[in-house]
Structure 1
Amino acid sequence: MTTRILPAVGDPDAARSVTTLLSQLPDAEPAPPVADSTQLVDTLARLAAASLDELPEVVLVHERIGPVPALELVREVALRFPAVGVVLITADAGPGLFSAAMDSGARGLVTLPLGYEELASRVQAAAQWSAGVRRHLGTGPDRAAGPGGTVVTVSGAKGGVGTTVAAVHLALAARASGRSVALVDLDLQSGDVASYLDVQFRRSVADLAAITDISPRVLQDAVYVHETGLSLLLSPAEGERGEEVTDRAARQVVSALRGRHEVVVVDCGSRLDGAGAAVIEMADTALLVTTPDVVAVRAAKRTVRMWERLQVRKAEETITLVNRQHRSSEIQPPLVQKITGTRVAGVSVPANFKELQAVVDAGRLHELDAKSTVKQALWALAGELGLVRATRAAGQPGKQLARSGGDRGSLGLRRRTGGR
């Protein structure tokens, strides 16, 4: 995806510095800098009048822009052109300015003197946010075509087996390969997607439950576009509101998301209710997560049998993921397959919680190191399930996708090295 960038920099020396760094970003299309706030707003207004698709994905506002002060300009651009991601360039990296910039509508700050890595990271995050907003407005390049995207449900044999970690990283892997992805937290009473991704957002799937016709605008209001580019539909903060989400509502919500995303990953938790059953039934792929211990494998078997009794899913149509696997475990994947009657995924996730602990405690699961064996296994699983683009996943999907992860994401913003 090409990212169009419009710098607003009044100082000629600063403009040259910004332009030089932007020219090094792959998949970036920087426009000539505009010299003042009036020229910036006029340029954006002219482009928007032609078509919303003509607007740049990212606008860079230098702190010394004039005549309108930088924060006021950020606020005006964010209000008038909500599909544009605004990044402020400033020498003040303090929490006060950061908070003020976020309140004004900025999607990030880049500190002076400019550095390639920081600029690339902030541009990428703003571009992904912009793409998500445009997708929900129905104008972006990621609009799903045809009958809709792929729906994958992730369920736990019991609590604590790693269901949400698996769901989040399957979604991140699909997004990093260039797909438009929605991640739904349908663990209605105790969902943790928001905690794992450091999100505070008051809207949830429960707000869509009573709506009979979910329009793109209504869907946009309920979805949170994460800095990774994922579209998040969260579980309600008040667990009792989960009862509002009926099986009919769940089907309608997931169908609406499927119509606008190439991949929809649904975290169903470990407790089966009507909403979860409806989505598991309609899913293209149903993944059941277990750990290689007697209690969890027995729970997995009970879950599969219950799905069959309720005619939700046949055992042979279910894929089981063995999480926290170790070569010394007495229970190995072939035995899990025999006990449950399901197909066990070719990828098992190794037992290595130390890799996860820091990012889980910080609520930054998306920042898990690319070298993590847990991340590599889950991203390889995404390739096995067909959630990533073939061009990105060719050869060694786990390793290639892991390299495109972390803060750089799907844009792959790396310093050019002259072909080396």
Structure 2
Amino acid sequence: MTIRILPAVGDPDAARIVSSLLSQLPDAEPEPVVADSAALLGALAQAAQPAAQPPAGPTGGRGPAPAVEGLPEVVLVHERIGPMPALELIREVALRFPAVGVVLMTTDAGPALFSAAMDAGARGIVGLPLGYDELAARVQAAAQWSAGVRVHLGGGPDAAPGPAGTLVTVTGAKGGVGTTVTAVQLALAALAAGRSVALVDMDLQSGDVASYLDVQFRRSLVDLAGIEDISVRVLQDAVHEHHTGLALLLAPEEGERGEEVDDRAARHIVAALRSRYEVVVVDCGSQMQSANAAAVELADVALLVTTPDVVAVRAAKRQVRLWDRLQIRKAADTTTLVNRLTRSTEIQPPLVAKATGTRMARTPVPAAFKELQPCVDAGRMQDLDSRSTVKQALWALAGELGLVDSPTDRQGRGGPRARTALTGRKRKAITAGAPPGPGTHQGPAAGFGPGPRFGTRRGSSTAAGGTGPFDPARPYEEG
């Protein structure tokens, strides 16, 4: 976050000291010092001029509101500013420019003056002579307060636009089931449909979204963890704009720092993202912490990814039971995706549904890692071929989850139009340049649409370690 600071200091020697210290603050953008109260109010009035002056109403009115985007976040007022006394000047600034955080610089930092300054509208006091650490702390606190006020005032770039976007969380039953691939492809499908999309890596200890998209990054979720009111500007500083158009908010490179993101921080971060993007896809990994548990609780769609083997389905059932015990999410409100499914797999989606008690995605994903491997190794998951059966299945899943436009919706920005329609029991994937849905593929490799070919395979089962008919209840019992 870049902090614009306007110092008001009448004494030339004090002004030089203030300017020198401000130039050392990280992310600070000091403006030229103003020498008196009149110059300060004039500079703020000029910065607050709205772009257009609407005509006054028939009753006169108060005129246009100040344009908060032009105002500095922080104003520093020296105690010996003149000709207006410092406290009176602070009160005037607070009344006329409520989105500006004012900090008083004074030699008397006692409780009486502190109380008077707060009553006048100051956001903090810093003692004279100035110290770097105290000045930095007061400026940062005032800037965060200012950013939060601007969100609620609106009318500027920090205002939260529009309604909340759709939040989709993708959680793995265990490691290695394809959680990140699923999250990335769902985000790319929504982007191709013309949505503004944020992809969040909330696998805080071992997130791999950056590796799958070949991203070198500096900022991460941790940079937002301590901020109460996350403005659009603060969010922009933390988000990595990928060349595909995805907005990436990544897990920290040092996994131990993931502990700094708690459930409170996760809620603030998710709310800020939903206020700006139409679709927010969160990769929650397979290890539940307070942060990704909060995301799952808030999600419009909670997707649980598993593979069709006993160990993974047991893990999926444990995950669902954990969410239910902690009152995070009910099984009936969870959608399970079966990844790496083949015709010969003993465990088919109906059995997974019976074992977990969740809804099943109508579009399973076929086992075709050879299609993925070149893109995974190169870190270019966005280049996965449109003929890939994996991509076709995941983009059809995006349509099923409501992330892809309907046939009557708009042409996508920066990507092909992806449309999905359901007519009776038959799915028709109508695309223009986007990969066709699995239901349109007639070959045996992609036959993963709804229908009888997903029926339970009869015969003996060795997947559960037994020799009799497969019983989904028996191998999944805990303990």
- What residue in structure 2 maps to residue 310 of structure 1? 326
- What residue in structure 2 maps to residue 358 of structure 1? 374
**Distance of 1:356 and 1:402 partners within structure 2:** 23
1:224 corresponds, among 240, 248, 254, to 240
Residues 213-246 of structure 1: CA deviation (Å, up to 9, x unaligned): 1111110000011111100000000000000001
* Contact 2:225-2:260 within 8 A present in 1 as well: yes
User: Would you say 1:393 and 2:435 are equivalent positions?
Assistant: no
- What residue in structure 2 maps to residue 261 of structure 1? 277
* Contact 2:399-2:420 within 8 A present in 1 as well: no
User: Would you say 1:404 and 2:430 are equivalent positions?
Assistant: no
**Distance of 2:432 and 2:174 partners within structure 1:** 28
* Partner secondary structure for residue 169 of structure 2: strand
Size of the alignment, in residue pairs? 269
- What residue in structure 1 maps to residue 338 of structure 2? 322
**Distance of 1:309 and 1:158 partners within structure 2:** 19
User: Would you say 1:155 and 2:179 are equivalent positions?
Assistant: no
2:259 corresponds, among 236, 243, 247, to 243
Counterparts of 1:164-313 in structure 2, within 5 Å, are 164-313=180-329
**Distance of 2:432 and 2:213 partners within structure 1:** 18
Shift in CA distance, 394/296, structure 1 to aligned 2, threshold 3 Å: closer
Q: Between the two proteins, what is the percent identity of the paired residues?
A: 70
Residues 225-284 of structure 1: CA deviation (Å, up to 9, x unaligned): 111110000000000000000100000001000000000000000000000111100111
RMSD: 2.2
Structure 2, unpaired ranges of 5+? 1-50, 53-155, 410-417, 436-479
* Contact 2:196-2:278 within 8 A present in 1 as well: yes
- What residue in structure 2 maps to residue 123 of structure 1? none
Amino acid corresponding to residue 208 of structure 1 in structure 2: L
Amino acid corresponding to residue 403 of structure 1 in structure 2: G
Shift in CA distance, 242/401, structure 1 to aligned 2, threshold 3 Å: farther
**Distance of 1:245 and 1:402 partners within structure 2:** 41
- What residue in structure 2 maps to residue 90 of structure 1? none
* Partner secondary structure for residue 393 of structure 1: strand
1:400 CA displacement: 4.4
* Contact 1:172-1:230 within 8 A present in 2 as well: yes
**Distance of 2:364 and 2:432 partners within structure 1:** 16
Shift in CA distance, 383/310, structure 1 to aligned 2, threshold 3 Å: same
* Contact 1:376-1:398 within 8 A present in 2 as well: no
Shift in CA distance, 309/205, structure 1 to aligned 2, threshold 3 Å: same
Counterparts of 1:52-131 in structure 2, within 5 Å, are none
Amino acid corresponding to residue 177 of structure 2 in structure 1: V
- What residue in structure 2 maps to residue 37 of structure 1? none
Amino acid corresponding to residue 394 of structure 2 in structure 1: L
Greater relative contact order (Cα 8 A, min sep 6): structure 1 or 2? Answer: 1
* Contact 2:404-2:420 within 8 A present in 1 as well: no
* Contact 1:379-1:401 within 8 A present in 2 as well: no
**Distance of 1:398 and 1:194 partners within structure 2:** 34
**Distance of 1:362 and 1:394 partners within structure 2:** 30
**Distance of 2:245 and 2:428 partners within structure 1:** 20
2:162 corresponds, among 133, 142, 145, to 145
Shift in CA distance, 293/253, structure 1 to aligned 2, threshold 3 Å: same
Shift in CA distance, 401/166, structure 1 to aligned 2, threshold 3 Å: farther
Larger helix fraction of residues: 1
1:311 CA displacement: 0.4
* Contact 2:180-2:283 within 8 A present in 1 as well: yes
User: Would you say 1:339 and 2:366 are equivalent positions?
Assistant: no
**Distance of 1:204 and 1:381 partners within structure 2:** 28
